[in-house]
Amino acid sequence: MIAWQGIETVLLDMDGTLLDKHFDDYFWEHFVPEIYATKNSISEREARKKLLDTYRAKEGTLDWTDLDYWSEQLGLDIPALKIKIDHLIQVHPYVIDFLKYLKDNRKPTYLVTNAHSKTLDIKMAKTSLSGYFTGIVCAEEIGMPKENPAFWAGLQEKIAFTAESTMLAEDTEKILFSAQSYGIKHLIYVARPSSQAPIKHSENFPSISYFNELIS
């Protein structure tokens, strides 16, 4: 699937790509509504509906992943709640093998995520993955989410990469289309973002279920 001799730089997403998205799905769709319901004396069903609608209104913006924003909006300490269930933060199978493969083959590898810096800190502390990366960039440093094609120009000002020889692995098609529009050539869709959801391959991009499929 990948001709590694033509790859000079590797960009990797975090949630759903390297880490099991089950943590995020459970946290935002079940755990936070449960806490919010208790705090506001409403039913969990009512809280879930209200919060899911509130989340969706911010999808595709930096607020979508901003823990400080949601702490203020919901009147909850979101980082503290994440730490409370951090046992659910899990690295996908074969990710460590893949990161070691990239390191052994001297491929500069960057974690590039929409996740808020506080989320990043919690997850790196839990998984100990940070040592595998040449660098880590959060979208808040660029000032826009990865869904915006202008993000990649901002990223290129922070790290040196040539679009034609760069690989990006993501679990969000909209972001892959955004990267494609900037000229990033080698695009991989992760079809199994959550261990609790069915595998769903992309009709637009080469898809993998696990990263061992990219180790030659």
Domain check: are 105 and 210 in the same one? Answer: yes
Final residue of a structural domain among 52, 87, 122 = 87
Domain that residue 97 falls in: 4-21+89-214
How many CA atoms does the CB half-sphere of 22 hold within 13 Å?
15
- Cα–Cα distance, 170 to 18 (Å, whole number): 9
| Mean pLDDT of the region 10-21 | 98
Tell me the chain's radius of gyration from C-alpha atoms.
17
What is the pTM for the complete model shown?
Answer: 0.96
Tell me the pLDDT tens digit for each residue of 188-210: 999 999 999 999 999 999 999 99
Which CATH number goes with the domain that contains 179?
3.40.50.1000
In the chain, the largest separation of any two C-alpha atoms, in whole Å, equals: 59
For residue 96, the model assigns a pLDDT of 98
- In the chain, the number of structural domains is 2
- Kindly state the percentage of the chain with pLDDT values over 90: 97
Clarify whether residues 156 and 198 are in a common domain: yes
Domain limit, last residue, from 66, 87, 108: 87
Write the pLDDT tens digit of every residue in 106-142: 999 999 999 999 999 999 999 999 999 999 999 999 9
